[in-house]
Amino acid sequence: MRLTVETSDSAEFESDSAAPGPAEVTLAEAFGWESGGVVAAVCHGSAGIVDVTLSDGRPLVAVRRVAAFANAEERAAGLTSVVPFLLQDAPEEGGATHEGAADFTAHVVVDGRLVTGQNPVPGAGTAQAAVEVLENV
């Protein structure tokens, strides 16, 4: 897999690796996390952050509170045998605490510069929360 991300300061990051390692550090840099940026994900978008490793070797989600599509929501949607991993479990395996709410309700978790929404319902709320965090960074 080739990943190329151009950032606003003209830096470019590339990776041909599909294996864990430098590509994940590149993702952390591309997300802007290590330079003080805000990372936001909603519903299954949280899959994009669960394997991101920071330059110090820690997972991005380690010791953070997150929301992601809950296991019960995956079951209700008939997706447990379709998705490669359950989004409630994966962040917890990386050291995060999944903070869920009632199934298919708007629920957003803000933990510092990490903003996550549980399912599609809080899409706008997740974006608004990310904007509020950005205004205060």
Contact 28, 55 (CB under 8 A): yes
Structure-token pair, residue 117: 């929404």
Radius of gyration in angstroms for the set of CA atoms belonging to the chain, rounded to a whole number: 15
Our separate counts of H helices and E strands in the chain read 4, 7
Indicate the pairing of strand 97-98 with strand 108-111: unpaired
> What are the residue numbers of the active site?
43-44, 74
Residues with Cβ within 8 Å of 136's Cβ and at least 6 positions away in sequence, in order, are: none
81-103 CB burial, b ≥16 within 10 A, e <16: eeeeebbbebbbebebebebbeb
